[in-house]
Amino acid sequence: MSQRYISVILPLALEWEPVYRGDESLRIGDRVSVWFSGRKYIGAVSGEVSTPDVDPGKIRDAIRPQERYEPVSEREIAYWRHLASYYLCTVGEVYKAAYPYGRLRGEEIESRSEDRLRQRLERTREKLAVARKDSTRERYQEDILRIEAALSGKAYAASAPTIEATTLSKILNPEETRPVLCSGLAPSLVPGEIAPLVAETLTAGRSVLYLVPEIEAGASVGEDLSMRFPGLILYHSRLSESQRRSAGFRAREEEPVFVLGTRSALFLPFRDLGLIIVSEEQSPSFKQDSPAPRYNARDAAILLAKVHGSRLLITALTPSLESVYNASAGRYAACPFSGGAVTRCRTILIDTGAEWRKGGMKGNFSIKLLEAILGCPGKVLIVESYLRDELLGLIPEASEKLVFGAREGMYGPDFKGVSLVASVQTDRYFSRGNFRADERADQLLRQFSSYCSKEGSEGTFIIQTRQPRHPVLKQLAEGGDVTASLLEERQACGYPPYSRITDVVLRDVNTARLHALAGPLAGILRDAFPGISILGPEAVPGDEITSVIRILLPRDRDLKPRKEQIRRIVDTYKKDRHYAGHIHLDVDPL
């Protein structure tokens, strides 16, 4: 009887997929228990091997594990391969990121979850039976719909019949197959604007994924969306292991689901995605720094949309230069948002250098800013929360109107009704060592300015700086846009979006060895890529054990083979110098 051989993906950084013997019942995606290098692992069958390139006598058996592990879909495997290829890592590393806990014993987890939901449903029905106020009864009825939807696993759009077309849904081309970039859309408006698109997709029997950059943002958006879609699934790293496993099982079911999550939600085992929304796509929080795969959720979402044939909507109040460039080049469809309330914000620059010279400063605050705070009739948002005690010591009488702490992508009720926003230490955004500093400063400051406007009135945004003539600040104060000039600078310097960066990162507590090995590797790379800009090795500021070699690759047809060549050179270098574990590649670093 002939032997059957299968390849298996293991949760390891392997450049190949080990071969095992498997019985006829095993299919692609089935989970198997195997031995590798003296340890047992749970892997996923990735294919059938007709003629193994190793001695058949050394091939071991792959068996079904005693615990129940759900199979992996071929779409998931295809997605993992796309990510591994683009981000120069292994499929095993992507598999490990997608299934960090194995997601086993699904029936037990689902049973416990359903028991809790049924108990909650019974208590809510009892409360509804004795409720007297109409508003209270409506709230309990909404809760019952939400719990019943959760029990069914279906993202039921309870309000779908009453969801009216929005500005965004009216201007979007339903036939567009490219990613759609919607600029000028504040994050707080996204849930309401995309509701008709979500309802339409769920009604068509396809699932929806809504990505937000941070867990706090997800909590705020979730409150809004769960009222419209009671079956909404939240997914992020702070959930318990059981909750994440349960979300994985629900995503796999036949019924469509609506998932709101951070970047890790990209790895849920969706059966059929029809719509992906990436909110605040420019946020650095979408970038996974460690471990591999070191992906950007926005770009990974593009790959996922291709695998599922789904629509992709990318939104941002102030989009990244990469997205602006892609829209201008026709890779994205541009859809500028002009709906919602008309907002106005007057920007005032205070030159702190001049104020210091004439005695107009009290600590970190200018007297002009203090006077503006005292004279403001509404709420005042101070961007830097760590200056709270100092400011309250200077003007304690303003404590009732002060709100502290704002950062990119923040959603929150405390920022409603703000008439004045103040950025006290603005110069910290303009780092000379980061080519993205001006872009990020512009994004952050425009985000902050959006909090100080409300319909029918003009808000004020006060910026303290020693650089009042800085192009970003000047354009903001004049109501202009610095995007075009920033793109011109990037093009002149050969930086993204006109090139693609791959960083070769070396880390070693033995700094002498680190520097001794980083220099020769940079030399090898320069010899391999003549005419390509290769910077470094350079130490990371504040990090003595890390050295980076930065490679600026042209965006042309040779981009992919050049990236693969970088990986081969680095892999060979690690093996020859016995330096494994100290070098990794970071594609499209931020």
Count CA within 13 A, CB hemisphere, residue 397: 6
- The whole model's pTM is what? 0.87
Position 280 pLDDT exceeds 90: yes
Query: What average pLDDT score do residues 449-461 get?
Result: 75
pLDDT at 162: 54
Kindly report which listed range (210-224, 371-385, 401-415) carries the lowest average pLDDT score.
401-415
Band of pLDDT at residue 339, cut at 50, 70 and 90: low
Kindly report which listed range (6-20, 54-68, 174-188, 213-227) carries the lowest average pLDDT score.
213-227
Position 161 pLDDT exceeds 50: no
pLDDT at 106: 47
Beta strands at 379-382 and 365-366: parallel, antiparallel or unpaired: unpaired
% of the chain with per-residue pLDDT over 70:
90
Cβ atoms 430, 452 nearer than 8 A: no
Q: What is the pLDDT of residues 233-279, one digit of tens each?
A: 899 888 887 788 878 888 887 788 999 999 999 999 999 999 999 99
The H-or-E segment that residue 361 falls in is strand 361-362
Q: Which two three-digit tokens encode residue 368?
A: 């002009």
pLDDT at 246: 79
Position 343 pLDDT exceeds 60: no
pLDDT at 138: 75
3-class secondary structure, 552: strand
pLDDT at 111: 52
Kindly report which listed range (55-59, 423-427, 437-441) carries the lowest average pLDDT score.
55-59
- Among 270, 273, 278, residue whose Cα is nearest residue 296: 278
Position 360 pLDDT exceeds 60: yes
Position 214 pLDDT exceeds 70: yes
Higher pLDDT, 96 or 175: 96
Chain mean position to CA 482: 25
Query: Partners of 355 in the beta sheet?
Result: none
Q: What is the pLDDT of residues 80-139, one digit of tens each?
A: 999 999 999 999 999 999 988 655 444 444 555 566 667 778 888 888 888 888 777 776
- In whole angstroms, give the CA distance from residue 101 to residue 91: 17
Band of pLDDT at residue 151, cut at 50, 70 and 90: low
Which range of 167-176, 317-326, 413-422 scores highest in mean pLDDT? It is 317-326
pLDDT at 473: 97
The H-or-E segment that residue 507 falls in is strand 499-507
Position 338 pLDDT exceeds 90: no
Look up tokens 């509701």; give the residue: 195
Cβ atoms 39, 2 nearer than 8 A: no
Query: What average pLDDT score do residues 517-530 get?
Result: 98
Average pLDDT, the chain: 88
Band of pLDDT at residue 228, cut at 50, 70 and 90: confident
pLDDT at 144: 78
Query: What average pLDDT score do residues 5-11 get?
Result: 96
- In whole angstroms, give the CA distance from residue 188 to residue 413: 10
Band of pLDDT at residue 408, cut at 50, 70 and 90: low
- In whole angstroms, give the CA distance from residue 575 to residue 29: 32
Crossing angle of helices 437-449 and 483-493, in 10° steps, is 170
Position 462 pLDDT exceeds 90: yes
